[in-house]
Amino acid sequence: MTLQLQIPKKFEVGKGCDADRSLGDLLLRTEMSTKANTSRLPKEYVGLSEDVLVRRIGEAKAKLGTKLVILGHHYQRDEIIRWADFRGDSFKLARHAASHPEADSIVFCGVHFMAETADILAAPHQRVILPNLSAGCSMADMAPTEDVLQCWDELQAMEGVTGKVIPVTYMNSTAALKAFCGANGGIVCTSSNAAAVAKWAFQRGQKVLFFPDQHLGRNTGLKMGYILDDMLVWDPFQPLGGNSREAYRKAAFILWKGHCSVHKRFTVDQVKEARKRVPNVKILVHPECEHEVVDIADAVGSTEYIIKTVTDSPPGSAWAVGTEINLVKRLAQEQPDKLIFCLDPVICPCSTMYRIHPAYLAWVLEALVRGEVVNEIKVDDEVARWAKVALERMLATT
């Protein structure tokens, strides 16, 4: 039975997003800015119709059989998710790949850091492929390795701070930063275990350097009972991160100035508007949102938590969800007995995640059928070794 409530027009998805643009536009905006030696989509795939792509992807997947595993992140478009053997968040998917050693090829329909993590956890014979190498993550890009190393060096040189800082990196970061944490007594966290990981860190030091997402770090600290005065933001574009040495000596959390471009869009005004327009609506948001939004939400949690919370709710429930629109739309389609809509009335899909177009999936699968591997993600052995140390610390903690 479909719920006979209508989403207010104000909450309809806005037009003009990257999702509304053609594959040709996608190529111009992404591939044309990549490095010259980057594998680019062959021209023969650009003009293929949706029906042809569906047929060719299906044929290639069938030929590869159990030697192939396709992973689809929750934020992927439906045209990609339909081919996924597993769908989930980034770390869950990476672990799925590692649990299927019969698969020689892992095609990760996500973004770059996710494919890196899959490669770190994969068996030596497995090859991880990212269909479009331009599918990065703007948040991960906000914490370049050299900037984090400079921050670390400056903190270690401060009297009263030296030796007291434990680095914690969010899963949404490069393999190099995970390795940095592994080599410096640090750890990785996810959005669901960040508080447990921070507790682990404070058992080993007096301060946490949290990157790259300041909002997850801030919301985690507040959840643990810390106050805003216990936290500082490190701005890599400012001398000494924009704060005094004395401020760092007093701080418990040093938060990198980074954010998720999708979750930063959700606002207090949107929460108020949803509650005004939809009686008994529950506000459910991701902890990458700003703390002012998190503070007034009815429930806060990771992508998997959001899915479970909505799924376990009774028929007739109303949810305004503060996370990526592809996931929200899919929840609404799969659970028509509930009213589920995006908190932001003009939200766009994650633009980098959306770069995994079916044409790219067809290309990499047909190459595998021919015995060719294109767009393989391979993490340096030494980087992988230390990154795995940080990941294993997390697994032992939670």
Cβ neighbors of 343 (< 8 A, separation 6 or more) are 266, 270, 271, 274, 283, 285, 320, 321, 322
249 plus 357 within the same structural domain: no
52 plus 113 within the same structural domain: yes
Residue 160 lies in a domain: yes
Residue 26 lies in a domain: no
Helices (H), the chain: 23-29, 50-64, 78-81, 90-98, 112-121, 138-141, 145-156, 175-183, 194-202, 214-223, 245-250, 268-277, 291-296, 303-312, 325-334, 358-369, 381-397
144 plus 132 within the same structural domain: no
Distance CA 282, CA 266 (A): 15
What does the pLDDT look like over 57-89, one tens digit per residue? 999 999 999 999 999 988 888 899 999 999 888
What does the pLDDT look like over 2-12, one tens digit per residue? 443 444 444 44
- Cβ contact 31:40 at 8 Å: yes
Residue 251 lies in a domain: yes
Given 206, 238, 259, which residue is the final one in a domain? 259
Q: Is the pTM of this model over 0.85?
A: yes
Residue 53 lies in a domain: yes
127 plus 189 within the same structural domain: no
280 plus 359 within the same structural domain: no
358 plus 337 within the same structural domain: no
Query: Closest Cα to residue 235, out of 248, 225, 221, 220?
Result: 248
CATH code, domain with 188: 3.40.50.10800
What is the model's pLDDT at position 97? Answer: 76
Domain that holds residue 102: 39-136+352-380
Residue 174 lies in a domain: yes
163 plus 217 within the same structural domain: yes
271 plus 235 within the same structural domain: no
What is the model's pLDDT at position 31? Answer: 46
Distance CA 160, CA 237 (A): 23
Q: Which residue has the tokens 């697994």?
A: 395
Given 221, 242, 259, which residue is the final one in a domain? 259
177 plus 285 within the same structural domain: no
Query: Closest Cα to residue 211, out of 163, 174, 247, 263?
Result: 174
Which residues does the chain have with pLDDT short of 70? Answer: 1-39, 347-351
Take residue 235 and report the two structure tokens written for it.
């701005």
Distance of CA 214 to the CA centre of its chain: 14
Residue 16 lies in a domain: no
162 plus 111 within the same structural domain: no
What is the model's pLDDT at position 389? Answer: 97
Cβ neighbors of 194 (< 8 A, separation 6 or more) are 170, 216, 217, 220, 287
Given 210, 231, 259, which residue is the final one in a domain? 259
179 plus 254 within the same structural domain: yes
Q: Give just the sign of the alpha carbon dihedral 154, 157, 160, 166.
A: positive
Residue 386 lies in a domain: no
Structural domains of the chain, count = 3
What does the pLDDT look like over 281-315, one tens digit per residue? 999 999 999 999 999 999 999 999 999 999 999 99
289 plus 357 within the same structural domain: no
